[in-house]
Amino acid sequence: MFSYRHAFHAGNHADVLKHSVLIATLQHLLQKDAALTVLDTHAGAGLYRLDGDYAATSGEAADGIQRLVSPAAPTTLAPALQDYVDMVRAFNQGPTTRVYPGSPFIAQRLLRAQDRLKLFELHPTDARALAGNIAQLEAGRQVAVLTEDGFEGIRKFLPPPARRALVLCDPSYEIKSDYGRVQDMLQDGLKRFATGVCAVWYPLIARPEAHDLPRRLKTLAQKAGKPWLHATLTVKGGKAAPAAGADRQRRPGLPASGMFLVNPPYTLEPALREALPQMAELLAQDRHAAWSLEGGGS
Ligand code: SAM
């Protein structure tokens, strides 16, 4: 079974990028009344304690969300970054940020009665935690937790009833085949539902598959004639080697990550162009901090 647990990484710089993109994308999609289906292929546990053992072991949130909510943070943030900070604050009472919402809780908070959220989580412990956390929301039929493979599981929901969907694909990339599976999932997803929005997170690590992934996704989008957007955030130099098992949890080594979107909302590019430089500046761990944003096809 997998050893990756998102609790070690919740609120790190990669989550700042991923969840800022998720919020900005959802905000745009929810402007239309028609029902939206959100498919979270790799959901995690949904909610995380930042003052618990996992987060304390890695200390990653300290260089992520905690920098943005600290009194030392600038009072004026780019709107996409401010919306992200406001979202995390909404899960906390008082000035200390102890609870971190994962993608399921971020999405659920933004959705309306007519929207649907399908959450896939394969790790039995995280799936149980997710189901328990979601049950407390009493969201009824709006949210479904599926202990299934997310790459495969989304097929049965595409195309969605109102023909509007966002797929968030956020694997742990613990096994090398995840990179190929992301590509296959996107290819199949676009065949089933060509106008769906798909957002893929990936780590920028010293592994050929990680560097190839955005190139492959770009080619795929171009061949399908679909617009795409690719954002990266680097917080430090050096390339973290892929780590396995428990080592992966202890090593706070991830220097950079990216988000690749197909059919992104047109509002996302300008929002990220404003937010990414600020993310790079505020989350920098050394002088190699940087960002990039590239898009095409629209
Ligand atoms: N999306 C979450 C968030 O932003 O809060 C974090 C998800 S975490 C990076 C990846 C999760 O995928 C882990 O909890 C892992 O157990 C789960 N997982 C791994 N392979 C999976 C698969 N094939 N299908 C569904 N879940 C999987």
Residues of the chain falling short of pLDDT 70: 1, 239-252
Angle between helices 177-192 and 208-224 (to 10 degrees): 10
pLDDT of residue 57: 78
What is the model's pTM?
0.95
Tell me which residue has its CA closest to atom 9 in ligand 1: 172
pLDDT of residue 244: 47
Q: 143 C-alpha to center of ligand 1: Å?
A: 17
The arrangement of strands across the sheet holding 290-296 comes to: 143-146, 116-120, 37-40, 165-169, 197-203, 256-262, 228-234, 290-296
The four Cα atoms 48, 53, 58, 64 give a dihedral, to 10 degrees, of: 40
Q: Ligand 1 in contact with 178 (CB < 6 A)?
A: no
* Residue spans per domain, the chain: 6-296
Would residue 170 show up in a list of annotated catalytic residues for this protein? yes
Q: Find residue 37's DSSP bridge partners.
A: 116, 165
Q: 131 C-alpha to center of ligand 1: Å?
A: 14
pLDDT of residue 248: 45
pLDDT of residue 54: 78
Q: What percent of the chain has pLDDT over 70?
A: 95
Fold of domain 6-296:
Rossmann fold (3.40.50)
Q: Ligand 1 in contact with 126 (CB < 6 A)?
A: yes
Q: CA 199, CA 21: separation in Å to the nearest integer?
A: 9
Q: CA 59, CA 250: separation in Å to the nearest integer?
A: 9
For the stretch 194-250, pLDDT in tens is 999 999 999 999 999 999 999 999 999 999 999 999 999 999 997 655 554 444 444
12 closest CA partner among 151, 170, 214: 170
Q: Ligand 1 in contact with 121 (CB < 6 A)?
A: yes
